[in-house]
Each structure stands twice: as structure tokens, then as C-alpha cells.
Amino acid sequence: MNHAASPIPSGYWQDATGNLVPVAKIKDIDKDRSRTVTELCEQAKTESARLLGFKVTSMQAVNDFVARSLAEYDVKHGGAKGNVTLVSFDGRYKVIRQMQATITFDERLQAAKALIDECIQSWSKGSNANIKVLVNDAFQVDAAGKISTGRVLGLRRLDITDEKWLRAMQAISDSMRVASTKPYIRFYERDEATGDYVSINLDVAAA
């Protein structure tokens, strides 16, 4: 059962461990630091909410424009799907909307790994040592226990026609699932000196 937090008595501050400390016992520099951090983080929360609202509005504006554009050809827009690049008439500005899918693999990936292992064992020793390293690396998990999607899918680009290998590649394809799709929208302005598009940075940490 959840209980509402008890109000902090007048004349006290609560520290990070939940202890009540008399304000008179807190150093001025510690008070100053706390106020500075709190004020900045509260402002950051406000800006974060504002940027989120801008992202939602921007995504909707792009979606609405695409719908208007397709309507000229009597084509109904199927929703905010797919990547779109829009450029202003003078070429100064560019907006890119991207839909990035997160791919996961089900249990059939283990079947693919077993088939690949059998391939390597049956091939002549030495000549495929590099492929063995590549395969083992592809199936390594990171600190979070996740397999690199890019490395696994990279195996399908290898020009190997062995029947068992091809079955393994099919198992990889069959095991793929789209876990989620995350929308991104990016804004660019053309550098008149170089002609390159430079990102309009909305990430204050990277500015």
C-alpha cells in the first residue's frame, strides 16, 4: 500500500538518503549548489517538454504535407510511415523524417547458429578461419545481453552457396521481428560556402 510522503517540517531540508537536516546546519555553499542544480533541472524539464511538443507538431506537419502531396494523385496516405526528405524551394533548408525499426530475433536464431557451426566444422580447416571468427563475433552479446543486429545481418552478405549455410541464412530471416519503430525528425541548413547541409542542432548537450 502506498503512502503519501510526509511533508518536510519548516526549518529542515531532506538529504538524498531521506534524513532531515536543520537548515542552520547546512553550509551556504551546499544551499547555493542545491538551488543552482534544482533551478537548472526544472528549466531543463520545461525545455524538454517544449521540444517534445515541437517534435510531435513537426512530425504531424510532415505527415499532413505528404498527405496533401499524394492527394494530387488521388492516393490516400497510409499514415506516418517511411522515410521522407523535404527541401525548401531555394534549397536552403531540408527536413528529414526517418522511421527507425528495432529488429529482434526469436529462438530460430539459435537454429541458424547451429547450422553455421556445422558448416564451419565440415569445411576444410584453416581456409575458413576468418569466417569462424566473423561468425563468433556476430553472435556475441553486449553488456545488456543483446545481439548486434547489424553483425548478424551482415552474415547474409557473404557470398557462400553451401546448402546448409543458405538454410542458416533463411533461419536468420525467419527469426527477425520488428520490436518497435521509433520516429526521428532532423533539420538541416545549407552551408553556402561548401554546399553541404549542416544539422540544426536541437541537442543542447552536443551543441
Is there a contact between 177 and 190 (Cβ–Cβ < 8 Å)?
no
pTM over 0.75: no
State the pLDDT at residue 16.
93
Instruction: Tell me how far apart the terminal alpha carbons of the chain are, to the nearest angstrom.
Output: 45
Please tell me whether residues 175 and 126 are part of one structural domain. yes
What is the 8-class DSSP label of residue 129? H
- pLDDT single digits (tens) 53-76: 999 999 999 999 998 998 888 776
The closest alpha carbon to 172, from 99, 110, 119, belongs to 110
Residue 118 belongs to a domain: yes
Please tell me whether residues 46 and 111 are part of one structural domain. no
Residue 45 belongs to a domain: yes
Please tell me whether residues 107 and 175 are part of one structural domain. yes
- What total number of domains does the chain contain? 2
Range of the domain at 31: 13-78
Residue 120 belongs to a domain: yes
What is the 8-class DSSP label of residue 5? P
**Position 32 pLDDT exceeds 90:** yes
Residue located via cell numbers 532532423: 186
Residue 125 belongs to a domain: yes
- pLDDT single digits (tens) 102-133: 888 999 999 998 988 888 887 766 556 667 77
Please tell me whether residues 175 and 107 are part of one structural domain. yes
Cα(58)–Cα(44) distance, rounded to whole angstroms? Answer: 20
Please tell me whether residues 173 and 107 are part of one structural domain. yes
Please tell me whether residues 114 and 61 are part of one structural domain. no
Please tell me whether residues 74 and 107 are part of one structural domain. no
State the pLDDT at residue 35.
96
Residue 194 belongs to a domain: no
Residue 186 belongs to a domain: no
Please tell me whether residues 73 and 109 are part of one structural domain. no
**Position 1 pLDDT exceeds 50:** no
Residue 199 belongs to a domain: no
Please tell me whether residues 20 and 71 are part of one structural domain. yes
In the chain, at which residue ranges do the beta strands (DSSP E only) sit? Answer: 12-14, 20-22, 84-87, 93-105, 176-190, 197-199
